[in-house]
Chains A and B, each alone.
Chain A
Amino acid sequence: MLSAKGIHKSYGSLQILKGVDLEVEKGEIISIVGASGAGKSTFLHILGSLDMPDNGSVLLNGTDLAKLSTNKLSAFRNEHIGFIFQFHHLLPEFTALENVCIPAFIAGKGRSESEKRAQYLLGLLGLSNRSHHKPSELSGGEQQRVSVARALMNSPSIVLADEPSGNLDSENANALHHLFVELRETLKQTFVIVTHNEHLAEISDRTVHMKDGLVI
């Protein structure tokens, strides 16, 4: 479903990615590991169309991301890709429910339909009783689970996660890792996860090692 071929990326004279290939099948959980500076996050951003490669192509569900206009790419991202970051990036003035609804509102979906789906996802992630709480009233683990619900809101083809448990204690991190596996089982969700966490890498279907801008 996702195919990245020959991805090159440089910032000035600094070559970050030197020809990275990756194939992802539906329902797979793939961990990308490697030392800091290996190019993992840059690669993930390119997979998610947040950044464009200097050379190479990314195809998601047969669509070449480089061939989409800025507006079409934004709409494609909204519909097909979910993101989870190291920091939850929830909007502080909105409740958990409202934060989860944001991708649906951006897609132009109605409020009642969006809230119904958001409530379902919050329930699935064990946050039913926290839906009307603001981010500041939630624990770190709960905040990150809300951001997972937000990433799943539009039923994306793939969820890209950049160090999702990097800001959590080991207990919450392990719970989040098992949540990814559960979501794969229940929703057939595909995940590509950049991580330093060995436990997360172990429970993944496949681990991709990166070093100096290359897959090794």
Chain B
Amino acid sequence: MDFYLAAILQALCFTPMCLGIYITLKVFNFPDITTDGSYTLGAVVCALGISNSLPLIVIVPVILISGALAGIATALIHTKLKVNALLSGILVMTALYSVNLSLMGRSNIPLLNRPTFFSFSIIPDTELNIFLITILIISILIVGLNYLLKSDFGLAMRATGNNELMIRSLGVNTASIKIIGLAITNSLVAFSGALVAQFQGFTDINMGIGIVISGLGAVMIAETVIRLFRIESMVLNLCCIIIGVCLFQLVLAFTLSIGIDANLLKLLTSCFVLFIVALPNSKWFKFLNVK
């Protein structure tokens, strides 16, 4: 049971990243691969801050700014140099690997016995304490994002994703929307990396590899739930991301618990994501949706 509880706690740490992926991919329709790099960047900045005994009140803004800078770099390459969105993200992600390694100076930084977010004690039970802290953080993020997406800026962001030509014709500078949007979403991704680093007790240079696939899988599950129940409310859409990321991590945990080789985990992750992506187009799903 603890195994599944750990999966849920990890899922909750992944949630800010999945919220970021949901906004880039589903709200303003930008395929951002920077995630793999900005996730590790957040973890690296967090590890450096904690290992240098900086207070969390200083570390958190630096994490958010580092993620934002990664997002801005991708957006600038795309909007100013007219490089394809996918390629822009890949370029920044690749560059960030070197940046992260240079910042760390080695491939791994342990964070055991250091003060972290999870050192704040709300209740004595350690795991329940982590659960409450992450739920509190996610609640704040969802309230903030819901407000943002309902604001005039959020409206422009959503319209940019829906039809860029139309929203440009209405007088929106879509390049600015993309720059600010990617800054926000990569801040979320970096923050998620920092949460996971604190949860698992170390930062590793390879911790971000393929993370975008996990995020994508969670977002796809959320999308399937949203479509199945025809959820229109933005705040409920964002809440569905929590369901998506928890289900995704529980499936992976179940896969490991039945004794499947851990080396095959990435393959299974890809197959599971493929299944989830294909599900909304299946006859079974359409039958359920119509009924």
Which A residues are within 8 Å of any B CB, using their own CB? 48, 50, 70-71, 74-79, 81, 83, 85, 89, 91-93, 102-103, 105-108, 150
B162 near A78 with CB under 8 A, answer no
- Mark the stretch among B94-102, B115-123, B140-148, B167-175 that contacts chain A: B167-175
B156 near A85 with CB under 8 A, answer no
B159 near A91 with CB under 8 A, answer yes
Chain A residue, CB-CB nearest to B156: A106
C-alpha spacing A102/B153, complex, angstroms: 11
B159 near A102 with CB under 8 A, answer yes
A89 near B166 with CB under 8 A, answer yes
C-alpha spacing A79/B172, complex, angstroms: 11
With A71-B176, A108-B152 already in contact, the answer to whether A78 and B165 are too (CB < 8 A) is no
Interface residues on B, range: 10 to 19
Chosen A-B contacts, 6 in total, with CB atoms closer than 8 Å, are A50-B168, A70-B175, A74-B173, A79-B171, A85-B166, A85-B169
Dominant secondary structure of chain B at its interface with chain A? helix
Chain A residue, CB-CB nearest to B175: A70
Q: Which of A78, A92, A93 contacts B171 (CB 8 A)?
A: A78
Q: Which of B158, B159, B169, B173 contacts A48 (CB 8 A)?
A: B169
B158 near A77 with CB under 8 A, answer no
With A91-B158, A93-B232, A108-B152 already in contact, the answer to whether A102 and B170 are too (CB < 8 A) is yes
Residues of A within 8 A of B163 (CB): 89
C-alpha spacing A24/B184, complex, angstroms: 43
C-alpha spacing A210/B89, complex, angstroms: 42
With A93-B232, A108-B152 already in contact, the answer to whether A103 and B170 are too (CB < 8 A) is yes
A70 near B232 with CB under 8 A, answer no
C-alpha spacing A92/B38, complex, angstroms: 32
C-alpha spacing A105/B156, complex, angstroms: 9
List 15 extra interface pairs beyond A71-B173, A77-B169, A81-B171, CB under 8 A. Answer: A48-B169, A71-B176, A74-B168, A77-B171, A85-B165, A85-B169, A89-B165, A91-B159, A91-B162, A103-B171, A105-B152, A106-B155, A106-B170, A106-B172, A150-B170
Residues of B within 8 A of A70 (CB): 173, 175
A83 near B169 with CB under 8 A, answer yes
C-alpha spacing A108/B151, complex, angstroms: 11
Nearest first, the 8 A-B pairs at minimum CB distance are: A78-B171, A83-B169, A89-B166, A74-B173, A77-B171, A105-B152, A89-B163, A103-B170
With A78-B171, A83-B170 already in contact, the answer to whether A102 and B155 are too (CB < 8 A) is yes
Residues of B within 8 A of A93 (CB): 158, 232
C-alpha spacing A74/B156, complex, angstroms: 13
C-alpha spacing A83/B164, complex, angstroms: 13
C-alpha spacing A197/B171, complex, angstroms: 28
CB distance from A158 to the nearest CB of B (A): 12
Q: Which of A75, A91, A106, A150 contacts B152 (CB 8 A)?
A: A106
B171 near A75 with CB under 8 A, answer yes
C-alpha spacing A91/B170, complex, angstroms: 13
C-alpha spacing A45/B206, complex, angstroms: 47
CB distance from A115 to the nearest CB of B (A): 14
C-alpha spacing A83/B172, complex, angstroms: 13
B169 near A74 with CB under 8 A, answer no
A107 near B166 with CB under 8 A, answer no
C-alpha spacing A164/B197, complex, angstroms: 54
CB distance from B159 to the nearest CB of A (A): 6
| B229-251 Cβ-contact flags toward A at 8 Å (1 or 0) | 00010000000000000000000
A107 near B168 with CB under 8 A, answer no
B158 near A106 with CB under 8 A, answer no
B171 near A50 with CB under 8 A, answer no
Residues of B within 8 A of A75 (CB): 171
Residues of A within 8 A of B155 (CB): 102, 105-106
C-alpha spacing A81/B173, complex, angstroms: 15
Residues of B within 8 A of A150 (CB): 170
C-alpha spacing A81/B172, complex, angstroms: 12
CB distance from A8 to the nearest CB of B (A): 21
C-alpha spacing A75/B170, complex, angstroms: 9
Residues of B within 8 A of A102 (CB): 155, 159, 170
Residues of B within 8 A of A89 (CB): 162-163, 165-166
C-alpha spacing A50/B173, complex, angstroms: 11
Chain A residue, CB-CB nearest to B237: A93
| B166-193 Cβ-contact flags toward A at 8 Å (1 or 0) | 1011111101100000000000000000
Residues of B within 8 A of A108 (CB): 152
Chain A residue, CB-CB nearest to B79: A70
A78 near B170 with CB under 8 A, answer yes
A107 near B232 with CB under 8 A, answer no
CB distance from A83 to the nearest CB of B (A): 4
